């Protein structure tokens, strides 16, 4: 982090990029970092190829996020919560210098300067450290963004990745102005009628494979509910509420015969290796991948690999 802080101090402008299908960790981290850098006279552009999902539009400063990279985007890239340009839809973009800050197990060799900490509960926690290293005092808006990032990736501090440093950071963020009750309400109690209808359709699709559950979201289901794919966040976690279930899979249909697959597990079961085998990655208990093929073909690949773990 000291090296990153020095590199930031030596440069004037930055493109801060979120990963595709953005969640609160990548969005909150990017917004907090943008605010921190601009408070010390830097210029920033925050990029998310998939924009900002409706359930995250409460994040302070989200209106500054752009979904198309302009031709004059700053040539210094800070890639957050992922470690390969493809994960941010930037595989065709060129940058003069790149910094990667991430906490996922899967690692690439991209980046002139990389800070990848798989033991960190969230990229938000790493942002908390970096902003302190930059000597920037947290504002309530920065604190809200980082707290939301950390809350999302720890299941509001319920998951096994919640450690003492995460809780210490959360305490400091609350002191700086983050409101845990407000954030929890926005994250978990703000569903639309359409999203609830979509959830019912998803639950009906879930297949029972013993300790494994597999469900899907199709474009037809989205059309019928009048919702978008970003309304599916957290759906994959619900089958894990069943004590005997140790793996949950959600297959989401996208255009061109593509399925984005979310994998979740409990305990020692590692789904990151399965995601990597299919071109994706993630954490031991939370990973994802994008696979081309029909529903039956992709389903068969997933089941074959998951049954081995």
CATH number for the domain whose boundaries are 2-188: 3.90.1640.10
Highest CATH level, class, for 193-308:
alpha beta
- Condensed to tens digits (0 to 9), the pLDDT of residues 171-214 reads 999 999 999 999 999 998 989 999 999 999 999 999 999 999 99
- The domain segmentation of the chain, as residue ranges, is 2-188, 193-308
Q: Which residues pair with 201 in a beta bridge?
A: none
| Torsional class of 282: left (φ above 0), alpha (ψ -120 to 50), beta (otherwise) | left
User: pLDDT per residue over 117-169, tens digit each?
Assistant: 999 999 999 999 999 999 999 999 999 999 999 999 999 999 889 999 999 99
Residues of the chain above pLDDT 70, percent? 99
Q: Would you state the structure tokens that stand for residue 181, as one six-digit string?
A: 């009750």
């Amino acid at each position: 982090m000291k090296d990153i802080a020095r590199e930031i101090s030596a440069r004037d402008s930055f493109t801060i990029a979120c990963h595709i299908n953005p969640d609160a960790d990548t969005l909150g981290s990017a917004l907090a970092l943008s605010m921190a850098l601009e408070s010390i006279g830097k210029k920033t552009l925050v990029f998310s190829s998939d924009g900002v999902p409706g359930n995250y539009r409460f994040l302070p400063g989200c209106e500054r996020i752009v979904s198309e990279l302009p031709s004059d985007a700053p040539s210094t890239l800070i890639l957050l919560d992922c470690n390969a340009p493809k994960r941010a839809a930037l595989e065709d973009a060129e940058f003069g210098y790149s910094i990667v800050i991430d906490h996922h197990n899967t690692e690439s060799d991209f980046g002139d300067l990389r800070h990848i900490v798989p033991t960190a509960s969230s990229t938000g926690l790493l942002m908390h450290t970096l902003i302190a290293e930059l000597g920037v005092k947290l504002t309530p808006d920065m604190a809200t963004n980082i707290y939301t990032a950390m809350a999302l990736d720890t299941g509001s501090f319920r998951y096994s990745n919640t450690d003492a440093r995460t809780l210490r950071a959360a305490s400091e963020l609350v002191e700086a102005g983050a409101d845990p009750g407000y954030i929890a309400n926005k994250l978990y109690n703000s569903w639309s009628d359409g999203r609830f209808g979509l959830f019912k359709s998803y639950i009906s699709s879930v297949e029972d494979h013993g300790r494994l559950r597999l469900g899907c979201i199709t474009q037809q289901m989205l059309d019928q509910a009048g919702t978008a794919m970003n309304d599916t966040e957290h759906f994959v976690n619900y089958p894990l509420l069943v004590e005997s279930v140790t793996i949950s899979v959600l297959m989401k249909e996208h255009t061109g015969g593509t399925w984005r697959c979310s994998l979740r597990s409990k305990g020692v079961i590692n789904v990151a290796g399965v995601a990597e085998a299919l071109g994706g990655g993630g954490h031991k208990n939370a990973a994802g991948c994008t696979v081309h093929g029909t529903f039956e073909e992709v389903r068969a690949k997933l089941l074959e690999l998951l049954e081995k773990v």
